Amino acid sequence: MKTIGAKDLRQHMDEILDRVINGEDIIVQHRFKKPVLLSAINALTNKHSQKLAGLKAFETATKQPSPFNPNKSVKELYHESITDKYSSQ
C-alpha cells in the first residue's frame, strides 16, 4: 500500500486511478487532515462483506409485533405503564 500527497494525486490523477482500478490501494495525505484510502469499489474487503451479510440477515429476520398500541401517544403509553406498575402495590 503506497502513501502519496494530495499534490501528487492532482498531478498524476490518471496514473493513480489506473493503479487503483488494477487493485492497488493508495493512501492520500493532505497536511493535517486525516488520510484517505483509495481503493476500487469491486474490491470489497471481508469486513464490508460481513457488514452486508449482517444487514441482509437483519432484513430477513422475522419481525415481532410491538406489544404497545400504535394508536396511542408516548404520553398515554407512559401513563398506562406507570399506572400498571404502581396500582398493583
Q: Are residues 21 and 40 in contact, defined by beta-carbon separation less than 8 angstroms?
A: yes
Burial (CB < 10 A; 0-12, 13-18, 19+), residue 38, is middle
* Residues of the chain falling short of pLDDT 70: 42-47, 88-89
- For the segment(s) 2-45, the CATH number from 3.40.1620.10, 3.40.50.9100, 3.40.50.970, 3.40.50.1100 is 3.40.1620.10
Widest distance between CA atoms in the chain? 76
* Cα–Cα distance, 81 to 59 (Å, whole number): 30
Please tell me the predicted confidence (pLDDT) of residue 88.
67
Would you say the pTM of this structure is higher than 0.85? no
Q: How far apart are CA 14 and CA 64, in angstroms?
A: 52
